Structure 1
Amino acid sequence: MPDIIPEASRVFVSVNGTFYRAIVADGSADSLRGSIAAGRYSKPGQRTLYMSATEEGVAAAMQAHPLPAGTRRTVCAMAVEAHSIFDLRDDRACEQMGIRRGDALAPWQELVANGGVPTSWGVRAHLERAGAHGLIDPSRTASGLWHLVLFRWNMPGAPTVKIVPR
């Protein structure tokens, strides 16, 4: 399980360890590019790297993202060193930042499919303005599991992510 270390800001944490990401099989070259499709915390075309703290977390997250028939996924491991991460599970941090957890966790897929804008996109925008590089997102399908969502990575001053051979 990755380490979570409070930062001096008392709002952000640092996260270090191995995370897991589902990718389309044989797409390992693209595993560090991140998602460009609309997601809970990303507008279409807005690169975002979604990962889970465990392989069980990947399986739980993928329940909401079915693939077309004949398409397979594989799970890749990634070494992450990240700072300025906001933990949505921290009630005090949410209150201090003016984040309503319900805005982050509200259903989004149907809203986007109908041309709407989910409240979770506003949560990301608010956190980015405050200097966050990403967030910890609690699993909605499996209690105790969590995901790491990076807004930026592998650029100066940002978290680093590397593929780990398995």
Structure 2
Amino acid sequence: MTLQAHIKTVVGRFWRATFIGQEHHLLSPAQAPRGRWHHSHQKTLYLSGTPDGCRIAVKAYQRSDDPPRRIFPIDVKQARVLDLRKPETREACATTLAEMHVFWADLHAADQHSPTWEVSDAARALGVDGLLTPSRSRPDLTHLTLFEWNQPEAPQVSLAGKPIDF
């Protein structure tokens, strides 16, 4: 079975947290040069399937002096993704849940390459729009990572209402 067999189309409501006052960057790519599913300044938009997913995802990076945040609803249309929540997709991608859930920042700090970057690089090379993944801290929660959006032939992503408290 090829990776093509593991591509699914995602349409629906997702969520993104941002600092109050930074709402104009809500649909902008991640600012950091690297993250769980990107490196070398690759374009990436990180979303969560629920508001709790946002809270859990941000928790690892939160600092006591951070400004307050809000969580915004985001509608996603026609994203072709690899669903890495499924064991058979992970197997086809030659990765494991343990490899996906490594803390990439620790590896980077030790001058090591995160195995998550190999998976996202392969997905980008395949031409998919992104990945559906289980949360590292709470595998019952889902994250959506997009590599392309709001361009011709790419998924459309838009603000879908008022924010809620972080």
Of 149, 159, 165 in structure 2, the residue corresponding to residue 163 of structure 1 is 159
Q: What secondary structure, in the 3-state scheme, does the structure 1 residue paired with 2:158 have?
A: strand
2 CA distance for matches of 1:41 and 1:125? 8
Deviation at 1:70, TM superposition (A): 4.5
Of 20, 23, 29 in structure 2, the residue corresponding to residue 25 of structure 1 is 20
**Counterparts of residues 140-155 of structure 1 (less than 5 Å):** 140-155=136-151
Q: Which residue of 2 aligns with 1:15?
A: 10
Which letter does structure 1 place at the counterpart of 2:81?
A: I
Q: Deviation per CA, 1:23-68: give whole Å up to 9, x if none.
A: 1111111011120312101114222100101001111111111136
Tell me if the contact between 1:136 and 1:148 (Cα under 8 Å) persists in the aligned partners. yes
Is residue 88 from structure 1 mapped to residue 62 from structure 2 by the alignment? Answer: no
CA RMSD in angstroms comes to: 1.7
2 CA distance for matches of 1:33 and 1:101? 28
> Structure 1: 5+ residue runs without aligned partners?
1-8
Q: Which residue of 2 aligns with 1:129?
A: 125
TM-score (structure 1 length as normaliser): 0.86
Which letter does structure 2 place at the counterpart of 1:84?
A: R
Q: Which residue of 1 aligns with 2:100?
A: 104
Tell me if the contact between 2:27 and 2:45 (Cα under 8 Å) persists in the aligned partners. yes
1 CA distance for matches of 2:116 and 2:156? 24
1 CA distance for matches of 2:113 and 2:63? 23
Larger RCO of the pair (alpha carbons < 8 Å, separation 6+): 2
Q: Deviation per CA, 1:114-166: give whole Å up to 9, x if none.
A: 33321111110011111221001101222411100001111111111001121
> Structure 2: 5+ residue runs without aligned partners?
none
Of 66, 73, 76 in structure 1, the residue corresponding to residue 62 of structure 2 is 66
Q: Which residue of 2 aligns with 1:3?
A: none
Q: Which residue of 1 aligns with 2:51?
A: 55
Tell me if the contact between 2:93 and 2:119 (Cα under 8 Å) persists in the aligned partners. no
2 CA distance for matches of 1:47 and 1:67? 24
Which letter does structure 1 place at the counterpart of 2:103?
A: P
Gap change, CA 1:162 and 1:97, over 3 Å in 2 = same
- What percentage of residue pairs aligned between the two structures are identical? 29
Q: Which residue of 2 aligns with 1:79?
A: 75
2 CA distance for matches of 1:144 and 1:70? 27
